[in-house]
Amino acid sequence: MKILAVSCSPRKKGNTVSLLEETLRGAAESGANIELFSVSGKNIRGCDGCYSCLTEGDCHIQDDMQPLYEKLIGADGIVFGSPIYFYGMTAQAKTIMDRTFALNKPGKSLANKVAGVIVVAGSLGLIDVLKDFYFFTTIKRMLPANFVAAYATEKRDAKKLEKGMNAAFKLGKEIVQLVDRKFEFPNEFPRNFFAFGTHTH
Ligand SMILES: Cc1cc2nc3c(=O)[nH]c(=O)nc-3n(C[C@H](O)[C@H](O)[C@H](O)COP(=O)(O)O)c2cc1C
């Protein structure tokens, strides 16, 4: 079993990474193979809306999203982490979400993977970003695990949060337990935002 943590903080070893590492430690203790991917120092460009992923099958942008695609596809459980930037997720987090538009077919999708979320703020915006992450994971037909929302500002603040670090550790164990359940949405269920939900005028 493979559990992947994706840190969307541009800070190298900041609070998001501290909490994600704790989640991975919990997952490893439960027997999972673990990996941390951090956007820090990476080149991940914005989706250019060419739709070639729908027509050709792959995203044409050759950057650090390409290895991340492989890691996302290969993971059984994924924990996304982002700090709050201007009451929203980081630009890097949104960019990754947009680029997963290319993961839209069987064998190349996020469907049925367990998703956990970690958000970190100095003061305001945690709930809004949690909602955005859970709407993303819902549309992707991922299976929602728990979340951790922590208050931290300076780089090493999160490490001092006993309750937050403990919750992050437990999240790792929970993700492993949920993956073990092998939950699967029926194949005919819609799983992208063209088909998801009902919009009426
Ligand atoms: C550009 C920028 C915008 C931020 N905006 C917010 C904000 O809207 N609300 C908030 O509570 N904290 C905000 N923060 C503080 C970060 O969320 C906080 O420092 C967090 O711990 C950073 O996590 P990291 O160490 O994982 O990067 C902002 C920080 C930066 C650099």
Mean predicted lDDT score pLDDT of the chain: 95
What pLDDT, on the 0 to 100 scale, is given for residue 113?
98
Residue range 95-100: average pLDDT? 98
Nearest atom of ligand 1 to the alpha carbon of 14? 25
Nearest protein Cα to ligand 1, atom 18: 153
User: Token pair for residue 164?
Assistant: 């937050």
Nearest 5°: CA angle at 21, between 19 and 78? 90
Nearest protein Cα to ligand 1, atom 23: 83
**Who has greater pLDDT, 200 or 186?**
186
| Positions of E strands within the chain | 2-7, 33-38, 77-83, 114-121, 143-151
> Given ligand 1 and candidates 80, 85, 130, 159, which is best to mutate, with the most ligand atoms within 8 Å of its CB?
85
Report the distance separating Cα 136 and Cα 191, nearest Å.
11
For residue 73, report the distance from its CA to the centre of ligand 1, in Å. Answer: 29
Residue 25: its H or E element: helix 15-29
Burial class (CB in 10 A: 0-12, 13-18, 19+), 129: buried
Distance, C-alpha 106 to centroid of its chain? 19
Ligand 1 is surrounded, with C-beta below 6 A, by 9, 11, 14-16, 83-87, 120-125, 152-153, 155
Q: Render pLDDT for 101-148 as a digit per residue (tens, 0 to 9).
A: 999 888 899 999 999 999 999 999 999 999 999 999 999 999 999 999
Q: Render pLDDT for 7-53 as a digit per residue (tens, 0 to 9).
A: 999 999 999 999 999 999 999 999 999 999 999 999 999 999 999 99
> Given ligand 1 and candidates 9, 82, 84, 117, which is best to mutate, with the most ligand atoms within 8 Å of its CB?
84
Q: Quick check: 193 pLDDT over 80?
A: no
Distance, C-alpha 39 to centroid of its chain? 12
Q: Where are the domains of the chain?
A: 2-180
Task: Walk across the sheet containing 114-121 and list its strands.
Answer: 33-38, 2-7, 77-83, 114-121, 143-151
Nearest protein Cα to ligand 1, atom 22: 83
Tell the CATH topology of 2-180.
Rossmann fold (3.40.50)
